[in-house]
Chains A and B, each alone.
Chain A
């Protein structure tokens, strides 16, 4: 049983040199950060040998799951409220919390020329406007804030359709089921298709996206390595490339 012996030897090595081993960490990532996180995880693995296993979803969903003991060690939220709450709940370490990105909200359509600016929302010549659930996903909240700032929320409400995550809000526009939708600028990076309006920051509260090390990751090398990597220059370059603003640069 050569295979068995190999496994036994490998296991022995693992026990003998824990600090020399590449570790693994499970990271909960807010849906808007999907593409950037994948790229960061790839570079992270290249540089450190550690593996970050990513799960994507709505920030609210992850918050609920983490309070119920979900096996994540790191949480990259789409807001700062939920990581703050996790620290208050005693589920995350206070000194690990920092703003890794500031998100940008975009009104986007696949049809060229449909989105020109806030007048597109005023004219409302569309049947469906897709957003993500404002209670569970911060980009949905920012979309609602934007419509309220323009005094258009009540008028547009009957046209709203909701995705569970910003990814789903994007899909509704992508498949043409909604002509227009509020998505994250990061989702449109690298494509010039359709028409878009980057919503001015004055219309909604800044989407400060905080990362936090969870208590479950206290002893996990890969988890703390991932948090520090996220603060480093390589990760910051990737984050900027995807259309986010970095903290202290806005």
Chain B
């Protein structure tokens, strides 16, 4: 029996694809949000920050339940799906991307926000006195200084999406090649007593998680050395 079967390969590739696409979208959305959160001084700043952080503490089933309703034919998701002739965004790859972006947002926003906050006003003021425009200051001063934060956010967002389970189980529909990601595949193998496949995929996940944490630690160390 071939253990690295087409079935497994498919779910591994799908998971990587989902995590990669979600991470790119997350970075695009999280960067301005983190910038604003790091610099705004209003009372509502922390309220917005708390809303963004909600998925950290909400059970995935809560998000799954809302998404099932919102992505469905009676929610905004159904309305969007009509644009390409669908009825619902549940059971679609796009639906999983939407879910992942909501679910992993705090993991990306937080490190970037902290990096922006840590650099303080000074580098930006210096750039302004040298007549750099705000956008140039942002791209040539703020972003390079916050690079470790971006790296941390990207890696965490990617890893968190790879590890997503409850949400996908509730809105995915277990469709091979479209919504059957790694975590759901493992669940499936356990449910059907296929321990060999389950243990192989689970082992893969452990190695991946270890690599992520090690990478994060090394990035942090380098950033600390660079700052010193």
Query: In the complex, how many residue pairs between chain A and chain B have their CB atoms under 8 Å apart?
Result: 70
Q: Kindly report which residue of chain B lies nearest to residue A61, judged by CB atoms.
A: B191
A162 touches B175 (CB 8 A): yes
Instruction: Judge if A25 is at the interface, Cβ distance under 8 Å.
Output: no
Which residues of the other chain, A, contact B14 by a CB distance below 8 angstroms?
A: none
Q: Residue B193 at the A interface, CB < 8 A?
A: yes
CB A47 to nearest CB in B, in angstroms, measures 34
Which residues of B (143-184) have their CB < 8 Å from a CB of A?
Answer: 169-170, 173-175
Instruction: Tell whether, in the assembled complex, residue B86 and residue A127 are in contact, meaning their CB atoms are under 8 Å apart.
Output: yes
State the CA gap A225–B206 with chains docked (Å): 44
* Number of chain A residues close to chain B: CB under 8 A: 25
A135: which of B72, B175, B191 is its contact (CB, 8 Å)?
B191
Q: Mark A59-96, 1 if CB is under 8 A from B, else 0.
A: 01101100100000000000000000000000000000
* Segment touching B, from A114-122, A172-180, A208-216: A172-180
Instruction: Please tell me if A32 contacts chain B, counting CB pairs below 8 Å.
Output: no
Min C-beta distance of B205 to chain A, whole Å: 18
Decide yes or no whether A40 CB sits under 8 A from chain B: no
Q: Encode contact with A along B55-75: 1 for CB under 8 Å, 0 otherwise.
A: 000000000000011011110
**Is the Cβ of B192 less than 8 Å from the Cβ of A161?**
no
- Provide the residues of chain A in CB contact with B193, threshold 8 Å: 60, 63-64, 67
Known pairs A135-B191, A136-B192, A164-B169; A171 contacts B68 (CB<8 A): yes
Are A161 and B174 within 8 A (Cβ)? Answer: yes
Chain B residues, CB < 8 A from A128: 87-88, 91, 173
* Residue pair B187, A164 in contact (C-beta under 8 Å): yes
With A64-B191, A164-B187 already in contact, the answer to whether A177 and B175 are too (CB < 8 A) is no
The smallest beta-carbon distance between B167 and chain A, in angstroms, is 13
**Residues of chain B lying within 8 A (CB to CB) of residue A61:** 190-191
A163 interfacial contact with B, CB 8 Å: yes
- Which residue of chain B is the closest to A137 with respect to CB atoms? B191
Residues of A within 8 A of B169 (CB): 164
CB-CB nearest in chain A for B68: A175
Chain B residue numbers with a CB within 8 Å of A63 are: 193
**Which residues of the other chain, A, contact B71 by a CB distance below 8 angstroms?**
177
- Which of chain A's residues have a CB closer than 8 A to the CB of B72? 175-177
Given A128-B91, A177-B90, A161:B68 Cβ within 8 A: no
A-B contact pairs, 17 of them (CB 8 A): A58-B191, A60-B191, A64-B190, A64-B191, A135-B191, A161-B90, A162-B173, A163-B174, A164-B169, A168-B170, A172-B173, A176-B78, A177-B71, A177-B72, A177-B91, A178-B173, A179-B87
A interface residue numbers (CB < 8 A to B): 58, 60-61, 63-64, 67, 127-128, 130, 133, 135-136, 160-164, 168, 171-172, 175-179
Nearest first, the 10 closest Cβ-Cβ pairs linking A and B are A161-B173, A162-B174, A136-B191, A177-B90, A135-B192, A61-B191, A176-B73, A60-B191, A177-B88, A177-B72
**Apart from A67-B193, A133-B191, A168-B170, 15 more pairs, CB < 8 Å:** A61-B191, A63-B193, A128-B91, A136-B188, A162-B174, A163-B174, A171-B68, A175-B69, A175-B72, A176-B72, A177-B88, A177-B90, A177-B91, A178-B173, A179-B87
